[in-house]
Structure 1
Amino acid sequence: MTKFIRRLQRIGSSILVSLPKDWVEANKLDKSNEVELETNENTISITVNKAERPSKEVVISYPLPTDENIVADITGAYLLGYDVIRIKAKTTIPVEDREKIRNSMRRLVGMEIVEEDSSNINVQFLLDATTLNPAKILKRISSIALGMFNDLSLALISDDKSNIQTLSNRDDEVDRQYFLLVRLIRSTMIDSRLASTFRLENIDVLDYRMAANILETASDTLVEIANSVSNTTLSKSDLKKIYDITKDIETIHQKSIDAFIDQDRRLAIEAIAGHRKFQKKISDIRSSIEEKNQLQIDLLDLIYMFERVSRSWADIADLVKPVYS
Structure 2
Amino acid sequence: GDSVTIEILLDHERMPTIQVLKRSYMINKSMLADVIKAFKEGDAKLLGDVIVRESEIDRLYFLVVRQLKSAVRYQQVAEKLGITNQRDSLGYRIVVKSFERIGDHIENIAKSGLQLIEKKQSIERFEGLAARVLEVYEKAAGALFKQDISMVDGVFDDLKEIEKMYLKISNSLFQQKMGVQASLLQKTVLDSLSRISGYSADIAEIAMNMSVKVP
The structure that is strand-richer by fraction is 1
The answer to whether the 8 A contact 1:234-1:298 is kept is no
State the AA in 2 paired with 1:283.
L
For residue 235 of structure 1, what is the aligned residue in structure 2? 121
- Pairwise CA RMSD: 2.7
Q: In structure 1, what is the Cα distance between the partners aligned to 2:7 and 2:55?
A: 22
- Alignment match of 1:149 (pick from 32, 36, 40): 32
For residue 281 of structure 1, what is the aligned residue in structure 2? 165
Unpaired segments of 5 or more residues in structure 2?
none
1:195 corresponds to 2:81: no
SS in 1 for 2:41: coil
Any idea what the Cα deviations from partners look like across 1:182-219, whole Å, max 9, x if unmatched? 11111111122233441521011011011101111111
By how many angstroms is 1:161 displaced? 1.6
1:252 corresponds to 2:136: yes
1:169 corresponds to 2:52: yes
Q: In structure 2, what is the Cα distance between the partners aligned to 1:285 and 1:178?
A: 32
Any idea what the Cα deviations from partners look like across 1:88-139, whole Å, max 9, x if unmatched? xxxxxxxxxxxxxxxxxxxxxxxxxxxxxxxxxxxxx67264x421111100
Any idea what the Cα deviations from partners look like across 1:143-191, whole Å, max 9, x if unmatched? 1111111111111121332122122331121122222211111111112
Aligned 1:113-132 pairs, distance under 5 A: 127=11, 129=13, 131-132=14-15
Larger Rg belongs to: 1
By how many angstroms is 1:259 displaced? 0.9
Question: Bigger shift: 280-289 or 241-250?
Answer: 280-289
Any idea what the Cα deviations from partners look like across 1:219-262, whole Å, max 9, x if unmatched? 122112211111113632xx221112221122111111121123
Aligned 1:96-135 pairs, distance under 5 A: 127=11, 129=13, 131-135=14-18
TM-score of the pair, normalised by structure 1: 0.57
For residue 319 of structure 1, what is the aligned residue in structure 2? 206
The answer to whether the 8 A contact 2:50-2:110 is kept is yes
Q: In structure 2, what is the Cα distance between the partners aligned to 1:316 and 1:294?
A: 38
Q: In structure 2, what is the Cα distance between the partners aligned to 1:266 and 1:126?
A: 35
For residue 54 of structure 1, what is the aligned residue in structure 2? 3
1:269 corresponds to 2:156: no
**Sequence identity of aligned pairs in percent?**
21
1:132–1:53 distance in 2 versus 1, CA, 3 Å: farther
1:207–1:277 distance in 2 versus 1, CA, 3 Å: same
Q: In structure 1, what is the Cα distance between the partners aligned to 2:198 and 2:46?
A: 24
The answer to whether the 8 A contact 2:112-2:189 is kept is yes
For residue 88 of structure 2, what is the aligned residue in structure 1? 204
The answer to whether the 8 A contact 1:246-1:278 is kept is no
Q: In structure 2, what is the Cα distance between the partners aligned to 1:289 and 1:160?
A: 22
Aligned 1:282-301 pairs, distance under 5 A: 282-290=166-174, 292=175, 296-301=183-188
The answer to whether the 8 A contact 1:141-1:215 is kept is yes
Unpaired segments of 5 or more residues in structure 1?
1-51, 57-80, 84-124
SS in 2 for 1:319: helix
